Protein backbone atom coordinates (compact mmCIF):
# COMPACT_ATOMS: atom_id res chain seq x y z
CA UNK A 1 0.00 0.00 0.00
CA UNK A 2 1.33 3.42 -0.97
CA UNK A 3 0.36 6.80 0.45
CA UNK A 4 -2.16 7.31 -2.38
CA UNK A 5 -3.78 3.89 -2.17
CA UNK A 6 -7.03 3.52 -0.24
CA UNK A 7 -7.00 1.51 2.97
CA UNK A 8 -8.87 -1.71 2.22
CA UNK A 9 -11.05 -3.21 4.94
CA UNK A 10 -12.72 -6.59 5.48
CA UNK A 11 -15.67 -6.76 7.90
CA UNK A 12 -16.23 -10.01 9.83
CA UNK A 13 -19.34 -10.16 12.03
CA UNK A 14 -22.25 -12.59 12.19
CA UNK A 15 -24.77 -9.77 12.70
CA UNK A 16 -25.77 -8.26 9.33
CA UNK A 17 -27.06 -5.13 11.06
CA UNK A 18 -23.64 -4.53 12.63
CA UNK A 19 -21.91 -5.17 9.30
CA UNK A 20 -24.26 -2.72 7.58
CA UNK A 21 -23.58 -0.01 10.15
CA UNK A 22 -19.83 -0.48 9.99
CA UNK A 23 -19.89 -0.53 6.21
CA UNK A 24 -21.89 2.70 6.05
CA UNK A 25 -19.46 4.43 8.40
CA UNK A 26 -16.35 3.31 6.55
CA UNK A 27 -17.64 3.79 3.01
CA UNK A 28 -18.39 7.41 3.84
CA UNK A 29 -14.78 8.09 4.82
CA UNK A 30 -12.24 9.33 2.33
CA UNK A 31 -9.44 6.90 1.58
CA UNK A 32 -11.18 3.79 2.97
CA UNK A 33 -12.64 0.94 0.92
CA UNK A 34 -14.67 -1.99 2.24
CA UNK A 35 -13.65 -4.87 -0.03
CA UNK A 36 -15.77 -7.67 1.46
CA UNK A 37 -17.96 -8.77 4.36
CA UNK A 38 -18.04 -12.14 6.12
CA UNK A 39 -20.50 -13.71 8.54
CA UNK A 40 -18.07 -15.93 10.45
CA UNK A 41 -14.38 -16.49 11.05
CA UNK A 42 -13.86 -19.20 8.44
CA UNK A 43 -15.42 -17.08 5.72
CA UNK A 44 -13.37 -14.12 6.94
CA UNK A 45 -10.12 -16.06 6.59
CA UNK A 46 -11.09 -17.16 3.07
CA UNK A 47 -12.06 -13.65 2.00
CA UNK A 48 -8.89 -12.22 3.51
CA UNK A 49 -6.86 -14.60 1.37
CA UNK A 50 -8.83 -13.59 -1.71
CA UNK A 51 -8.92 -9.81 -1.22
CA UNK A 52 -5.77 -9.24 0.88
CA UNK A 53 -7.21 -6.34 2.89
CA UNK A 54 -5.03 -3.96 4.87
CA UNK A 55 -7.30 -4.18 7.94
CA UNK A 56 -9.81 -6.75 9.20
CA UNK A 57 -12.49 -5.68 11.69
CA UNK A 58 -13.15 -8.94 13.52
CA UNK A 59 -16.01 -9.80 15.86
CA UNK A 60 -15.15 -12.20 18.70
CA UNK A 61 -18.29 -14.23 19.22
CA UNK A 62 -19.54 -15.92 16.06
CA UNK A 63 -20.94 -19.37 15.29
CA UNK A 64 -18.57 -21.86 13.72
CA UNK A 65 -15.07 -20.40 13.61
CA UNK A 66 -14.94 -17.59 16.16
CA UNK A 67 -13.02 -14.36 15.78
CA UNK A 68 -10.18 -15.40 18.08
CA UNK A 69 -9.37 -18.51 16.07
CA UNK A 70 -9.65 -16.56 12.82
CA UNK A 71 -7.34 -13.85 14.17
CA UNK A 72 -4.72 -16.41 15.16
CA UNK A 73 -4.95 -18.02 11.71
CA UNK A 74 -4.62 -14.71 9.87
CA UNK A 75 -1.73 -13.39 11.97
CA UNK A 76 0.34 -16.52 11.35
CA UNK A 77 0.46 -15.72 7.64
CA UNK A 78 3.50 -13.91 6.20
CA UNK A 79 1.24 -11.36 4.47
CA UNK A 80 -1.03 -10.98 7.50
CA UNK A 81 -3.48 -8.07 7.55
CA UNK A 82 -3.84 -5.91 10.63
CA UNK A 83 -6.71 -7.27 12.74
CA UNK A 84 -8.79 -5.03 14.98
CA UNK A 85 -11.09 -6.96 17.31
CA UNK A 86 -14.65 -5.79 17.88
CA UNK A 87 -15.90 -6.30 21.42
CA UNK A 88 -18.44 -5.21 24.01
CA UNK A 89 -15.84 -5.08 26.82
CA UNK A 90 -17.38 -8.02 28.69
CA UNK A 91 -14.81 -10.54 27.46
CA UNK A 92 -11.48 -9.14 28.57
CA UNK A 93 -9.68 -12.48 28.57
CA UNK A 94 -10.79 -13.02 24.96
CA UNK A 95 -9.47 -9.61 23.98
CA UNK A 96 -6.17 -10.36 25.67
CA UNK A 97 -5.88 -13.62 23.71
CA UNK A 98 -6.46 -11.70 20.49
CA UNK A 99 -3.76 -9.18 21.39
CA UNK A 100 -1.31 -11.97 22.17
CA UNK A 101 -2.09 -13.43 18.74
CA UNK A 102 -0.96 -10.16 17.16
CA UNK A 103 -4.19 -8.17 16.80
CA UNK A 104 -3.57 -4.45 16.41
CA UNK A 105 -6.06 -3.67 19.16
CA UNK A 106 -9.77 -3.55 19.80
CA UNK A 107 -12.77 -1.31 19.33
CA UNK A 108 -16.13 -1.20 21.04
CA UNK A 109 -19.00 -1.81 18.66
CA UNK A 110 -20.50 1.56 19.57
CA UNK A 111 -17.30 3.47 18.75
CA UNK A 112 -18.18 6.87 17.21
CA UNK A 113 -17.70 6.98 13.43
CA UNK A 114 -14.78 9.43 13.47
CA UNK A 115 -12.90 7.33 16.04
CA UNK A 116 -13.59 4.15 14.08
CA UNK A 117 -12.20 5.66 10.89
CA UNK A 118 -9.12 6.96 12.73
CA UNK A 119 -8.56 3.56 14.35
CA UNK A 120 -8.69 1.78 10.99
CA UNK A 121 -6.17 4.22 9.54
CA UNK A 122 -3.89 3.78 12.54
CA UNK A 123 -4.06 0.01 12.26
CA UNK A 124 -3.26 0.17 8.54
CA UNK A 125 -0.19 2.24 9.40
CA UNK A 126 0.95 -0.40 11.88
CA UNK A 127 0.07 1.57 15.00
CA UNK A 128 -1.86 -0.08 17.87
CA UNK A 129 -5.42 1.14 18.37
CA UNK A 130 -5.35 0.48 22.09
CA UNK A 131 -4.48 3.18 24.59
CA UNK A 132 -2.04 2.39 27.43
CA UNK A 133 -4.80 3.06 29.96
CA UNK A 134 -7.13 0.56 28.33
CA UNK A 135 -4.29 -1.96 28.01
CA UNK A 136 -3.68 -1.79 31.75
CA UNK A 137 -7.42 -2.04 32.47
CA UNK A 138 -7.72 -5.17 30.38
CA UNK A 139 -4.68 -6.79 31.91
CA UNK A 140 -5.77 -6.00 35.45
CA UNK A 141 -9.14 -7.69 34.89
CA UNK A 142 -7.78 -10.93 33.47
CA UNK A 143 -7.80 -13.89 35.87
CA UNK A 144 -4.26 -14.51 37.09
CA UNK A 145 -3.28 -18.16 36.71
CA UNK A 146 0.14 -19.77 36.91
CA UNK A 147 1.61 -16.36 37.66
CA UNK A 148 5.00 -17.61 38.78
CA UNK A 149 5.64 -19.76 35.72
CA UNK A 150 4.34 -17.05 33.38
CA UNK A 151 6.57 -14.46 35.05
CA UNK A 152 9.65 -16.66 34.84
CA UNK A 153 9.06 -17.45 31.17
CA UNK A 154 8.53 -13.78 30.32
CA UNK A 155 11.70 -12.74 32.11
CA UNK A 156 13.72 -15.41 30.30
CA UNK A 157 12.38 -14.11 27.02
CA UNK A 158 13.31 -10.51 27.83
CA UNK A 159 16.86 -11.68 28.55
CA UNK A 160 17.31 -11.95 24.78
CA UNK A 161 17.51 -8.16 24.65
CA UNK A 162 20.56 -5.95 25.04
CA UNK A 163 20.56 -3.67 28.07
CA UNK A 164 19.29 -0.55 26.23
CA UNK A 165 16.66 -2.59 24.37
CA UNK A 166 15.42 -4.06 27.63
CA UNK A 167 15.14 -0.59 29.16
CA UNK A 168 13.10 0.61 26.19
CA UNK A 169 10.93 -2.52 26.38
CA UNK A 170 10.09 -1.56 29.97
CA UNK A 171 9.17 1.93 28.76
CA UNK A 172 6.84 0.36 26.19
CA UNK A 173 5.31 -1.63 29.01
CA UNK A 174 4.61 1.63 30.79
CA UNK A 175 2.79 2.95 27.71
CA UNK A 176 5.35 5.60 26.80
CA UNK A 177 5.44 6.98 23.26
CA UNK A 178 8.57 7.11 21.11
CA UNK A 179 8.92 10.82 21.83
CA UNK A 180 8.64 10.26 25.58
CA UNK A 181 11.20 7.47 25.47
CA UNK A 182 13.58 9.62 23.42
CA UNK A 183 13.34 12.50 25.90
CA UNK A 184 13.73 10.15 28.86
CA UNK A 185 16.98 8.65 27.56
CA UNK A 186 18.32 11.69 25.66
CA UNK A 187 18.31 9.94 22.30
CA UNK A 188 16.57 10.69 19.00
CA UNK A 189 13.14 9.37 18.06
CA UNK A 190 14.78 7.64 15.09
CA UNK A 191 17.07 5.78 17.48
CA UNK A 192 14.08 4.74 19.57
CA UNK A 193 12.36 3.37 16.45
CA UNK A 194 15.50 1.38 15.62
CA UNK A 195 15.55 -0.11 19.10
CA UNK A 196 11.83 -0.93 18.95
CA UNK A 197 12.31 -2.73 15.63
CA UNK A 198 15.17 -4.72 17.13
CA UNK A 199 13.04 -5.60 20.17
CA UNK A 200 10.19 -6.88 17.99
CA UNK A 201 12.60 -8.96 15.90
CA UNK A 202 14.44 -10.51 18.86
CA UNK A 203 11.23 -11.31 20.73
CA UNK A 204 9.43 -12.49 17.56
CA UNK A 205 6.53 -10.11 18.19
CA UNK A 206 4.37 -8.06 15.85
CA UNK A 207 3.70 -4.82 17.71
CA UNK A 208 4.21 -2.68 20.81
CA UNK A 209 1.12 -4.00 22.56
CA UNK A 210 2.61 -7.50 22.62
CA UNK A 211 5.83 -6.10 24.12
CA UNK A 212 3.78 -4.34 26.82
CA UNK A 213 1.96 -7.58 27.62
CA UNK A 214 5.25 -9.48 27.89
CA UNK A 215 6.67 -6.84 30.24
CA UNK A 216 3.52 -7.08 32.35
CA UNK A 217 3.83 -10.88 32.46
CA UNK A 218 7.41 -10.44 33.69
CA UNK A 219 6.17 -8.19 36.49
CA UNK A 220 8.64 -5.47 35.54
CA UNK A 221 8.42 -1.70 35.37
CA UNK A 222 10.93 1.01 34.38
CA UNK A 223 12.76 2.97 37.06
CA UNK A 224 11.22 6.32 37.93
Same domain, 156 and 55: no
Same domain, 68 and 151: no
In a domain, 153, yes or no: yes
Same domain, 164 and 81: no
Is a pLDDT exceeding 80 seen at residue 142?
no
The percent of residues above 70 in pLDDT, for the chain, comes to: 88
The percent of residues above 90 in pLDDT, for the chain, comes to: 56
Identify the domain containing residue 46 by its residue range: 7-140
CATH assignment of the domain containing 29:
3.40.50.2300
pLDDT class of 143 with cuts at 50, 70, 90? very low
Same domain, 77 and 160: no
Same domain, 126 and 158: no
Calpha distance 95→7 (Å, rounded): 24
Calpha distance 60→66 (Å, rounded): 6
Quote the distance between the C-alpha of residue 195 and its chain's center: 19
pLDDT tens sequence across 152-185: 899 999 999 999 999 999 999 998 999 999 999 9
Same domain, 95 and 199: no
Weakest-pLDDT range from 39-43, 108-112, 129-133: 129-133
Please give the radius of gyration of the chain, using alpha carbons only, rounded to the nearest integer: 18
**In contact, 214 and 203? CB cutoff 8 Å:** yes
Q: How many domains does the chain have?
A: 2
Boundary-marking domain end, from 114, 140, 166 = 140
pTM equals: 0.67
In a domain, 53, yes or no: yes
- Mean pLDDT value across residues 90-107: 75
CATH assignment of the domain containing 203:
1.10.10.10
Same domain, 122 and 202: no
Calpha distance 195→170 (Å, rounded): 12
CA distances from 43 to 50, 62, 65, 90 (A): 11, 11, 9, 25
Same domain, 120 and 27: yes
pLDDT tens sequence across 194-223: 999 999 999 999 899 899 999 998 988 877
Amino acid sequence: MTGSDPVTVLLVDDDPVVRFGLSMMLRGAEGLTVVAEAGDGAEGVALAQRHRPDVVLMDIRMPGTDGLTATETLRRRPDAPQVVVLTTFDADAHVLRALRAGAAGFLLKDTPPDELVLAVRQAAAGRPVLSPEVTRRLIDRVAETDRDSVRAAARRRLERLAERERTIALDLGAGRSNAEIAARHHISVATVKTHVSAILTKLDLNNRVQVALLVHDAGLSPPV
